[in-house]
């Protein structure tokens, strides 16, 4: 994406955007956050690299945060004697042009609950979707799939402009939460719930996924696919995935699923965001990002001039790293830092 693509002569104004972290109401042991954003292009902050900026003007800001795992500083948390968050609010009149995405999520860091959390890579990908929806018609009327959706944040932003959006993940608890987030946002974001399909997509199961047969005795049957939905998904032109790269085994399964989807039906583009994570390696006696290197082995890298690196990766996938400076930060209250990346990946089923 080129800087300023699609903006036309729009005047750059300071975006009023913040996160309202909660937090009553608490649903099923989860918390609710409200992400506020404006359709006006944000003014870049000098030296921030698209990172965190102070909110000014008409805004309401909660200065407490819930968890550093959501991309917020852990030392910002203040709790009372019952363990509930103490919120210091600063209220002013809200700009009527602001929009709000409400997300029910968890704040724990257990492996089982990672899909219930909001991660910085999802906030970045949401920024990208918002920017495209405000400055171009690229995603207007598309059929899209969010893979490994977690809370469904990216899918909710897409639902504003897409024709159909399949919000997919694995596990009834994750999918129940996605469905609740669709219900929480359809009115505020003005989209029809019927075009947001929350469906189970298990990367361990080859595509196509199991089809609903009419048996409602299984509580998870509501997330099974119909034959028509599978056909519609194969004609999707855009795939989205945020923070799905954290385990080599899961990375293998993810790219296997992406290959099956991208080799069927319409040509597809995968937009993927991730945060590089470092661990100490006994083999190398150093802190390394092994999971990231494994991710990079799946595709050939295309540079700005279109040149393809000569490497030994698997044929078929071609990836181009996107410049985050071209993606304004509409959701202000997270720090992008230096380890967030965004990739645009295509798949050629018949590489020469």
Predicted pLDDT at 333: 72
Report yes or no on whether pTM surpasses 0.85: no
First to last CA, the chain: 26
Residue 13 lies in a domain: no
Residue 129 lies in a domain: yes
Residue 35 lies in a domain: no
**Inter-CA distances, 82 with 16, 138, 167, Å:** 33, 48, 36
DSSP 228-282: HHHHHHHT--EEEEES--S-HHHHHHHHHHHHHHHTSSS--EEEEEEE---EEET
Residue 45 lies in a domain: no
Task: Walk along the chain (352 residues) and give the pLDDT tens digit of each residue.
Answer: 333 343 343 333 323 333 333 333 344 578 899 988 988 867 654 334 444 433 322 222 222 233 333 333 333 344 455 555 454 444 444 444 578 999 999 876 554 556 678 999 999 999 999 999 999 999 999 999 999 999 999 999 999 999 999 999 999 999 999 999 999 999 999 999 999 999 999 999 999 999 998 877 777 799 999 999 999 999 999 999 999 998 899 999 999 999 999 999 999 999 999 999 866 555 554 555 678 989 999 999 987 666 565 444 445 899 999 999 999 999 987 899 899 999 999 998 875 5
Residue 226 lies in a domain: yes
Counting the structural domains of the chain, the total is 1
State residue 220 phi and psi, 5-degree precision.
Answer: -90, 0
Predicted pLDDT at 12: 32
Report the sign of the C-alpha dihedral through residues 228, 229, 230, 231, in that order: positive
Residue 67 lies in a domain: no
Q: For residue 233, what is the domain's CATH number?
A: 3.40.50.150
Spatial distance between the Cα atoms of 38 and 97, rounded to a whole number of angstroms: 6
Predicted pLDDT at 158: 98
Predicted pLDDT at 46: 39
Residue 180 lies in a domain: yes
- Domain holding 193, by residue range, is 111-347
Predicted pLDDT at 42: 75
Residue 238 lies in a domain: yes
Q: Residue 184: which of 151, 161, 162 has the closest Cα?
A: 151
């Amino acid at each position: 994406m080129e800087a300023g693509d699609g903006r036309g002569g729009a005047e750059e104004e300071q975006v009023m955007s913040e996160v309202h972290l909660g937090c009553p109401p608490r649903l099923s042991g989860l918390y609710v956050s409200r992400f506020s954003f404006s359709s006006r292009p944000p003014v870049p902050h000098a030296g921030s690299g698209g990172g965190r900026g102070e909110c000014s003007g008409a805004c309401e800001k909660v200065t407490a945060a819930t968890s550093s795992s959501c991309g917020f500083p852990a030392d910002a948390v203040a709790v009372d004697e019952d363990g509930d968050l103490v919120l210091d609010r600063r209220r002013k009149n809200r700009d009527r042009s602001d929009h709000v995405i409400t997300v029910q999520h968890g704040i724990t860091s257990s492996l089982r609950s990672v899909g219930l959390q909001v991660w910085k890579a999802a906030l970045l990908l949401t920024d990208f979707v918002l920017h495209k929806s405000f400055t171009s018609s690229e995603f207007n009327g598309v059929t899209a799939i969010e893979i490994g959706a977690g809370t469904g944040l990216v899918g909710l932003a897409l639902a504003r402009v897409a024709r159909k959006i399949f919000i997919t993940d694995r596990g009834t608890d994750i999918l129940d939460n996605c469905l609740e987030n669709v219900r929480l946002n359809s009115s505020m974001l003005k989209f029809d719930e019927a075009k947001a399909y929350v469906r189970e997509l298990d990367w361990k199961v080859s595509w196509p996924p199991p089809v609903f047969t009419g048996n409602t005795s299984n509580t998870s049957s509501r997330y099974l696919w119909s034959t028509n939905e599978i056909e519609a998904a194969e004609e999707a032109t855009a795939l989205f995935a945020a923070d799905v790269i954290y385990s080599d085994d899961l990375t293998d399964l993810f790219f296997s699923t992406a290959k099956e989807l991208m080799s069927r039906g319409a040509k597809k583009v995968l937009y993927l965001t991730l945060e590089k994570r470092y661990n100490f390696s006994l083999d190398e006696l150093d802190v390394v990002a092994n999971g990231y290197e494994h991710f990079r082995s799946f595709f050939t890298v295309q540079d700005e001039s279109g040149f393809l690196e000569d490497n030994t990766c698997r044929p078929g996938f071609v990836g181009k790293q996107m410049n985050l400076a071209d993606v304004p930060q509409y959701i202000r209250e997270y720090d992008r830092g230096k380890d967030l990346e965004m990739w645009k990946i295509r798949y050629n089923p018949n590489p020469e």
